[in-house]
Amino acid sequence: MEDVLDLYADPADPARPVVCLDECPVQLRDDVRVPLPPAPGRPRRRDYEYRRCGTACLAVAFDPHRGWRHVTVSERRTKADFAGWLKDLVDAHYPTAEVIRLVVDNLNTHTPAALYEAYVPAEARRIARKFEWHYTPKHGSWLNMVEIELSVLTSQCLDRRIPDLAALERVTAAYAERRNAEHATVHWRFTTQDARTKLDHLYPIPQPA
């Protein structure tokens, strides 16, 4: 826990960006009946019944210092998908960074080993060398700032029926573009000292020598 909190307290360093990464599942749904358009004195109306259209996964990378986020839409979240997201961070989004300080939770796919299952060893090692790993503690994924970004995305984007991956990509891309233009970020206030005071029950009791 303190490792992540100390990381958040560090000043911004463009050569060593902090990127928080996490995923969330999305239920794809479509209307069974065509919604009725709005009319004078009457809002648009939609039938309560809907059709299930499968599921998708959203992966969100969030850089709090830049106020930048990137949303990736995929059908699932496998080790190969995770490896692809890491490769995109290195090659597409942070090609000049010395190292990317990555914050993730303890999901079993969130390890450098995922790179070796997706790429040949030389390529996997090239990508892995660009990351410095910081894990939130078990049952402490709320310490990952991207959880706040996912909450905003859910309330602003996913509060509607989205029938397929193409539609999901459109709405999440528009969301990210708007939020990035605003440089919207998270102003984190919870510090290591706060943790030692307010979460002291989580710390082990030192044993006498």
**What confidence tens digit (pLDDT) does each residue in 51-60 have?**
888 999 999 9
Q: What is the 3-state secondary structure (H, E, C) of the chain?
A: CHHHHHHHHCCCCCCCCEEEEEEEEEEEEEECCCCECCECCECCECCCCEEEEEEEEEEEEEECCCCEEEEEEECCCCHHHHHHHHHHHHHHHCCCCCCEEEEECCCCCCCCHHHHHHCCHHHHHHHHCCEEEEECCCCCHHHCCHHHHHHHHHHHHCCCCCCCHHHHHHHHHHHHHHHHHHCCCCCCCCCHHHHHHHCHHHCCCCCCC
Q: What is the mean pLDDT of the chain?
A: 92
Please give the residue that has the higher pLDDT: either 99 or 44.
99
Whether the pLDDT of residue 112 is over 90: the answer is yes
Percentage of the chain beyond pLDDT 70 is 95
CATH, domain 2-32+47-201, list 2.40.50.100, 3.30.420.10, 3.40.50.1970, 1.10.10.10: 3.30.420.10
Whether the pLDDT of residue 32 is over 80: the answer is no
Whether the pLDDT of residue 67 is over 70: the answer is yes
What pLDDT score does 35 carry?
A: 65
Mean pLDDT of 23-34: 85
Mean pLDDT of 133-151: 94
- Predicted model pTM: 0.89
Residue 47: pLDDT band (50, 70, 90) is low
Residue 97: pLDDT band (50, 70, 90) is very high
Residue 46: pLDDT band (50, 70, 90) is low
